Amino acid sequence: MDERKLPDPVTLWKKCNWWLYCVFVTIAVVLILHYFYPNTDQDNARYILSAISQGLAAILALVFTITLVVSQMTRRYTAMDKIIFRRETVFLMIIFGIGVVTPLLALKFGFLEHGVNLSIAFAVFCVFSLIPFLKGVNWVLKYEFGVDALYREIMVAIESGIEESIDIEELTEIGERAVTEAPENTVVTITRSLSQIGKKCAKKGLGDETSWVVCKLSDIGVKSVGKKFEEASFFAATGLKKIGVEAAKIGLTGGLLDDPATDAINGLKDIGAKAAEKGLVKWGTTICTVEGLKDVGMELKDEYMAVNGLWCLGAFVMEYLPEQVDHVIQNLGEMEKEIGRDLLMRWGKNCISDYPNLKSSLEEIKRRYEKG
């Protein structure tokens, strides 16, 4: 069996846990009814069965109407497939259908004693199953349709040049949530969208918007490393590099926020250091951040931040990914051609003040650099 096709247990639990809660509540209600209220008066039983059937039918009609309206709001031809005809919706409709018909059959055939308890159990499950169902609809709207719609709206707003209409905050909020509640491919889509938005903002000279994207893309990248989303962290680093280079080329500054290029350097350093610490090598996230620091630094007039970050990453690489040290040394050599060895060595003195445990690793990479 191909192990890559096996579902992640954590993701599977997050997807199914609310449905399991519905099952547990239903079982608890069945046990209570069976042991504490085994018999029901016939007149009351008929009324209960009739009320359950009518109530569930009304709820089913309301849920179907809401789902149909939501599908139409997306203005997509595939919305029906992804919302109404998805497995969760079909399953819910079947359960509601059984819940509506069961009381009627109990009335028809006179199974009042057991029919009441069974109908109540179905009704309890149907009502509580609305929670995971609505959460699923929200997930589809947010990630299947919302991300793409927001990306298009933001790009149009940037192109129009009206800053007041550019609202990037909602998309970045979705991106931060996606790291904890969505699969990696969804996070990759969002990071790539934010990268394009940030680069476009930088080209248009929108300093605050660019800095906002850079800061949030950095947060998403660091969190992705923590979740071991290698592809997502790689694209976050790639986006920071492109945005930082673009901002540095034109000397873009932020009004209320920091300079985008400086923010990009800090984000690249944080992502690269954490990726090295986690030992992520498949997508070369750390290598990408090293190259990003060098590229952004060479475009800046003041290379101190980039050089300091390179030495810091070098210490992390020496400690956790020693096989990539030569790549760090190569990029440091390219920086030396720009600023000279004296500044290169001097600007690396305080780079690991927050990581005293890496002091020996920093000294080792400096020794290897000077030797080479």
Output the pTM of the full model. Answer: 0.82
Angle in degrees, CA 356, 292, 194, rounded to 5: 110
Q: Is the pLDDT of residue 85 over 80?
A: no
Residue 7 DSSP one-character state: P
Q: What percent of the chain has pLDDT over 70?
A: 91
Q: Is the pLDDT of residue 257 over 80?
A: no
When the pLDDT of each residue in the chain is averaged and rounded to a whole number, the result is 86
**Pairs from 25-30 (Cβ < 8 Å, separation ≥ 24):** 25/124, 25/125, 25/128, 26/121, 26/124, 26/125, 26/128, 29/120, 29/121, 29/124, 30/117, 30/121
The confidence score (pLDDT) of residue 290 equals: 95
Of 54-68, 75-89, 191-205, 350-364, minimum mean pLDDT range: 75-89
What is the distance between the alpha carbons of residues 256 and 262, in angstroms, rounded to a whole number?
14
Q: Residue range 198-224: average pLDDT?
A: 93
What is the pLDDT confidence band of residue 44, given thresholds at 50, 70 and 90?
Answer: confident
Q: Is the pLDDT of residue 38 over 70?
A: no
The confidence score (pLDDT) of residue 2 equals: 36
Greater model confidence, 334 or 31: 334
Q: Is the pLDDT of residue 7 over 60?
A: no
Q: Residue range 22-42: average pLDDT?
A: 76
Domain chopping of the chain, boundaries: 14-133, 179-371
Q: Which of 211, 198, 313, 312 is closest to 263 using CA atoms? A: 211
Query: Using one digit for the tens of pLDDT, what is the confidence trace for 273-311?
Result: 999 999 998 889 999 999 999 999 999 877 889 999 999
Count CB-CB contacts under 10 A for residue 306.
31
The confidence score (pLDDT) of residue 364 equals: 93
